[in-house]
Copies of this chain bind each other. A is one copy, B any other.
Amino acid sequence: MQKSGISKPTLIIDASRAKANIQRMKAKAEAQGAVFRPHFKTHQSGVVGQWFRQKGIDRITVSSVSMASYFADHGWDDILIAFPVNLLEIKKINELAGRIKLYVLIEDLAVAKQLDNLLEHLVGVYIKIDSGAGRTGIPLDDENRVLEFADQINVSKNIRLKGLLTHAGHFYHQPGGKTAIAEKTQQINQKMKALKSKLRKEDLVLSWGDTPSCSMLDDLKGFDEWRPGNFVYYDVMQYHIGSCSLGDIAVAMACPVVAVHPEREEMVIYGGSVHFSSEFIAADQGFRLYGYLVKFTEKGWTTPLPGAWLARLSQEHGIVKLPKEICQQYKPGDLIGILPVHSCITVSAIGRQHDLDGNLIPKMVSI
């Protein structure tokens, strides 16, 4: 890893790992007969988007109108905004719909009607189905409401029904691991297929996509479209869930060491919640895990050092807990690596990104 030129917290992206993650997920989706429409909210980068394009991907998912604009400006012309339509951004939505194939997400009949009135171009819509995450969407079992919704869309002028979309966000906290996730996925799929046959629309797309299920499960054949996002980089949370190996994690935050306290088995790094965001994995007795400590090597980084983890964050400081004998190997001015807990949020927070050769990897700025 090219350390020269790094003097403050910088996210290091291992491009080979990211490209391998892309290739693997694309091949898996295609082997299951699904369209691969990866979510770009994780990397938010035109350069990383190119890595997808080089693998033949031409349809993407984003989580905001701003992100759709950014990627449209980077040449993407088939974009799904997988976030409930924000009516306050109708002007931008119209502008985008005039230049690319745009899809949006709705879960509210009144919004569907307003959208139809306000749109100036034809836009494909997905109906958001709540398959258990309890965040947004029509409950999976509320068949009547889905049918009513589809009827409304069918008599609309500017919106056309494209699919039913769900995000199993609750899989991130699913007790029972892979077996339970497989079982739940199967149940959701059966119900979505039943809805599809009720809607009597052959080309209706059943859209699915969370990194845990797309990574872990062998059979997802009942879904027509996959939208995972996090898999491009993975992270410590995905490793704990079982979605990836440590060797698949494609990002590590480079942080300068600013203080070493062997007597209390801690060191202080320049790297805080403004760089990592504040997400952590909690355990008993107030234990918090914000990331794992790694050493940078010539070609990348090591596996996590045993017994060492990022345990506390303040605005700019991070406190790494580590065994005394490892602690004594460090001094202020060293550069260490941290595998982040949640790469999507960390990417959004951090200012600078490099690849292993020291090339800047730009990403969208305004959020």
Contact = CB atoms under 8 A, between A and B. Distances in A.
A264 B139 CA distance: 12
A351 B332 contact: no
Given A8-B88, A84-B258, A85-B258, A367 B274 contact: yes
Interface in A312-326: 312, 314-317, 319
Interface stretch (A61-69, A194-202, A211-219): A61-69
Interface stretch (A20-28, A104-112, A119-127, A149-157): A104-112
A111 B348 contact: no
B66 A8 contact: yes
Given A315-B41, A349-B349, A89 B274 contact: no
Contacts of A65: 8
B277 A277 contact: yes
A32 interface: no
Interface size class of A (residues with CB under 8 A): 35 or more
30 contacts: A7-B91, A7-B92, A8-B86, A8-B88, A8-B89, A41-B316, A83-B258, A83-B316, A83-B317, A84-B259, A86-B256, A86-B258, A86-B333, A87-B332, A88-B256, A88-B333, A88-B335, A108-B332, A110-B332, A134-B264, A135-B312, A136-B258, A136-B268, A136-B317, A274-B349, A277-B277, A349-B367, A350-B367, A351-B365, A365-B365
A71 B64 CA distance: 32
Interface in A69-106: 83-89, 91-92
A320 to B, nearest CB: 12
Interface of A: 6-9, 41, 63-66, 83-89, 91-92, 107-108, 110-111, 114, 134-136, 169, 256, 258-260, 264, 268, 270, 273-275, 277-279, 312, 314-317, 319, 331-333, 335, 344-345, 348-352, 365-367
A131 to B, nearest CB: 15
Nearest to A264: B134
Top 8 A-B pairs, shortest CB-CB distance? A87-B333, A7-B88, A84-B258, A278-B278, A274-B348, A351-B366, A278-B279, A351-B367
A108 B260 contact: yes
B64 A316 contact: yes
A257 to B, nearest CB: 9
A277 B273 contact: yes
Given A278-B277, A332-B84, A335-B88, A345 B315 contact: yes
B135 A270 contact: no
Nearest to A270: B86
A306 B287 CA distance: 33
Contacts of A349: 274, 277, 348-349, 367
A365 B91 CA distance: 26
Nearest to A82: B316
Contacts of A365: 351, 365
Given A92-B7, A278-B278, A332 B111 contact: yes
A6 B270 CA distance: 34
